């Protein structure tokens, strides 16, 4: 869009492509070792920054990891993940800074969570009780699913809870903008418990909180895991019409 064109007057020339970008977004869990040009990443981030935020606070801070910085973070967090698997007591040393999930699960959310987990594991041939395989698959998160680009998102702790709403809109913009470039993503709350490793590694300040991570790159179309499609509730189940 030209900077001289008023936003209110900007036409959407190809509405089906907008819908396709949204509907084709999914959490890719296998990527190709193909570089993503910096100018492409900058363009995606610029477009994402048009996300709305309360009083235009724009609370997002983004750290892009590639090459050695990406690989070293993978090494450190995978080592911690393995250590916790060997000694679960160590998990107490790794805490999320905010509650992403509820302390107590209730229906229908727990049902959807279980369906998601077992459907994915079933596709991968991981049976209930196969803990080593589950651990290895979970650790794929901390390898960015082999994506060449890892993103970390932080928020100043001084900001209120509403900034997380703003952040969600920014992240969705980013993921949809990536689709426009032929790329795929996987937003990851799994990194949050390892903030004590992530934040110093990326050079985040003491007043920053880790919001989540994200893998970004070219999805491996031959990987079976990328055939996984999560269901969605029909509109009539989550919408109330008031007249």
Report pLDDT for 35. Answer: 97
For residues 148 and 35, give the distance between their C-alpha atoms in angstroms, rounded to a whole number.
6
| Sequence-separated (6 or more) residues with CB below 8 Å from residue 135 | 81, 85
pLDDT mean across residues, the chain = 96
Report pLDDT for 115. Answer: 96
For residues 242 and 1, give the distance between their C-alpha atoms in angstroms, rounded to a whole number.
36
The mean per-residue pLDDT over the stretch 102-113 comes to 96
State yes or no: pLDDT of 237 exceeds 70: yes
Low-confidence winner among 6-10, 161-165, 167-171, 218-222 (lowest mean pLDDT): 6-10
Query: 182 is written with which tokens?
Result: 């032929």
Question: Which of 13, 74, 53, 17 shows the shortest CA–CA distance to 166?
Answer: 53
Q: Give me the residues paired with residue 63 across strands.
A: 152
Report pLDDT for 88. Answer: 96
- The values of phi and psi at residue 196, to 5°, are -65, -20
Report pLDDT for 154. Answer: 98
State yes or no: pLDDT of 213 exceeds 60: yes
Question: Are 227 and 165 spatial neighbours (Cβ–Cβ below 8 Å)?
Answer: no
Report pLDDT for 132. Answer: 97
Helix (H, G, I), strand (E, B) or coil at 7: helix
- pTM of the shown model: 0.95
| Sequence-separated (6 or more) residues with CB below 8 Å from residue 43 | 177, 181
State yes or no: pLDDT of 142 exceeds 70: yes
Q: Sign of the CA dihedral 233, 177, 54, 1?
A: negative
Domain ranges of the chain: 26-80+141-227
Report pLDDT for 1. Answer: 60
Element (H, E) at 212: strand 208-217
| Sequence-separated (6 or more) residues with CB below 8 Å from residue 63 | 151, 152, 153, 154, 202, 203, 204
Q: Kindly report the CA angle at 173 between 187 and 195, in degrees rounded to 5?
A: 35
Distances (CA, A) of 47 to 22, 42, 51: 15, 9, 8
The mean per-residue pLDDT over the stretch 91-101 comes to 94
Query: 54 is written with which tokens?
Result: 């309360």
State yes or no: pLDDT of 2 exceeds 60: no
Question: Which of 116, 110, 210, 205 shows the shortest CA–CA distance to 154?
Answer: 210
Report pLDDT for 5. Answer: 75
Q: What share of the chain has pLDDT > 70, as a percent? A: 98
> 26-80+141-227: which CATH architecture?
3-Layer(aba) Sandwich (3.40)
Name the pLDDT band for 131 (thresholds 50, 70, 90). very high
| Sequence-separated (6 or more) residues with CB below 8 Å from residue 134 | 121, 126
What digits encode the pLDDT tens for the residues 156-212? 999 999 999 999 999 999 999 999 999 999 999 999 999 999 999 999 999 999 999
């Amino acid at each position: 869009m030209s900077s001289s064109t008023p936003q209110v007057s900007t036409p959407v020339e190809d509405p089906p492509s907008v819908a396709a970008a949204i509907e084709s977004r999914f959490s890719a869990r296998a990527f190709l070792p193909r570089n993503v040009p910096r100018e492409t990443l900058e363009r995606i981030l610029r477009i994402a920054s048009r996300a709305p935020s309360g009083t235009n606070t724009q609370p997002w801070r983004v750290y892009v990891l590639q090459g050695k910085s990406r690989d070293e973070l993978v090494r450190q967090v995978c080592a911690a993940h393995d250590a916790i698997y060997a000694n679960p007591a160590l998990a107490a040393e790794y805490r999320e800074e905010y509650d992403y999930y509820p302390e107590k699960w209730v229906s229908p959310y727990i049902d959807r969570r279980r369906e998601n987990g077992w459907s994915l594991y079933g596709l991968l041939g991981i049976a209930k009780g196969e803990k080593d395989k589950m651990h290895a698959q979970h650790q794929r998160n901390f390898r960015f699913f082999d994506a060449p680009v890892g993103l970390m998102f932080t928020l100043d702790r001084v900001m209120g809870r509403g900034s997380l709403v703003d952040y969600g809109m920014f992240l969705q913009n980013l993921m949809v903008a990536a689709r426009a470039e032929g790329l795929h993503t996987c937003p990851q709350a799994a990194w949050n418990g390892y903030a004590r490793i992530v934040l110093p590694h990326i050079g985040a300040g003491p007043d920053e909180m880790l919001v989540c991570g994200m893998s970004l790159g070219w999805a491996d179309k031959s990987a079976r895991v990328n055939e996984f499609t999560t269901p969605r509730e029909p509109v009539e189940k989550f919408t109330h019409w008031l007249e």
